[in-house]
Amino acid sequence: MRKGASAKSPALGLLLVAIAATGCVPARMPPAPEHQAVSARRAWPAPPARPRIRFVQSVSRPADLGVEPSFWERLGQIIVGREEAWLIRPMAVGARGGVIYVADAGGQAVWALEVRSGRFRKTQMAGRGPLVSPVGLALAPKGRVYVADSFLRSIFVLDEDLKVTTTITGEALHRPAGLAFDAARDRLYVADSAAHTVWIYTGEGVLLESIGQRGTREGEFNFPTHVAVDSTGTLYVTDSLGFRVQMFTADGRFASMFGRHGDASGEFARPKGVALDSEGHIYVVEALFDAVQIFDRRGRFLLSFGERGLGPGQFWLPTGVFIDPDDRIYVADAYNQRIQIFEYLRGGGDE
């Protein structure tokens, strides 16, 4: 029997945000400051319900954060005649200490946007060769950043300067995608979508064990794409074409799962990124319907935010999601070429 199956009725009186289709998107969407005053008040669920999620900001380029290129970045732009830096196809995002990290598969790069210092760093190198398809990202202590390159079939460990210190590779890895790091237990979890497996490494890259194989039973996967881990060591795996999220204990045992294929509230068509806020709510990116769905610990649907479109709070094929300790929610809005930032209003708030 499946534990934690999703419920049809929204819990806590929260409302589902309707998803409306729009037209095509241009290759580059310029910032639209005329929307900012309106969008800054945008929240979910809609009035008269108490708002729980609020839009904060959209980031398509470093300048959106007031971040300027370093001296060497400016010099490089002058020498080669490069245009202003923009995100191309961000797939994963993380944040800590005033720095937003982005794995940009379209730009074949990893970004570090330093909000406090007003500078940004960017690398397109993985050791001696270039990055090809950086799609996964996880943060670890001592300034480490883990980056999964699905084409190179490798995990790169970067330092604070975005220099590669260690490369995790081998025959086990087929198509590494989502990453999660458990600092308390020194465990790096890798969702390998082609192997239908989650690999477990130490922080130094020693392979310890694996979870799952291809299948539809409990503890089996059909193209897992993203992972997250909470403070108890519980692992959350987006089983993308299994149309569910599966949970495992810190020692790798199956615990529960929720979700099923469909287009109704709490159902999945293309689930991607997964993350948890400070109260244990589970956020799952629904890429096909351009929204983020929120569930409680038992897998009961609570609320959806976002919709299809170009404006603030709207998405086009979103992928990764990250939530910081202050309950700021970062969503990689891949084909809108931006990171969108929201906040979870723990005590509610006024729109």
Q: Which residues contact 25 (CB under 8 A, 6 or more apart)?
A: 310, 316, 335, 336
Q: Map residue 270 onto helix, strand or coil.
A: coil
Q: pTM of the prediction?
A: 0.86
Residue 74: φ, ψ to 5°:
-65, -40
Residue 236 CA: distances (Å) to CA of 242, 267, 273, 330, 332? 14, 17, 10, 18, 19
Return the exposure string of 303-318: e unless at least 16 CB atoms fall within 10 Å of the residue's CB, then b: bbbbbbbbbbbbbbbb
Element (H, E) at 329: strand 328-333
Q: Is the peptide bond before 62 cis (omega within 30 degrees of 0)?
A: no
C-alpha torsion sign, points 25, 31, 34, 38: positive
Nearest partner of 160 among 119, 107, 130, judged by Cα? 119
CA–CA–CA angle 267, 268, 271 (5° rounding)? 140
Q: Do residues 151 and 132 make contact, with C-beta atoms less than 8 angstroms apart?
A: yes
Residue 65 CA: distances (Å) to CA of 75, 116, 252? 21, 10, 40
pLDDT given for residue 83 in this prediction: 60
Element (H, E) at 34: helix 33-39
pLDDT tens, the chain, 351 aa long:
333 333 333 333 333 333 332 233 334 444 444 344 444 469 999 999 999 999 999 999 999 998 876 665 565 555 544 567 899 999 999 999 999 999 999 999 999 999 888 899 999 999 889 999 999 999 999 999 999 999 999 999 999 999 999 999 999 999 999 999 999 999 999 999 999 999 999 999 999 999 999 999 999 999 999 999 999 999 999 999 999 999 999 999 999 999 999 999 999 999 999 999 999 999 999 999 999 999 999 999 999 999 999 999 999 999 999 999 999 999 999 999 999 999 999 875 444
DSSP letters for 61-120: SGGGGT-EE-HHHHHHHHHHT------S-EEEEEEETTEEEEEETTTTEEEEEETTTTEE
Q: Which residue has the tokens 């191309």?
A: 88
* Rounded CA separation 174/226 (Å): 15
* Rounded CA separation 138/321 (Å): 11
Two tokens, residue 250: 């810190």
Nearest partner of 234 among 206, 205, 255, 259, judged by Cα? 255
* Rounded CA separation 115/26 (Å): 28
Q: Pseudo-torsion of CA 30, 36, 38, 43, nearest 10°? A: 100
Q: Which residues contact 246 (CB under 8 A, 6 or more apart)?
A: 218, 219, 221, 236, 237, 239, 254, 256, 257
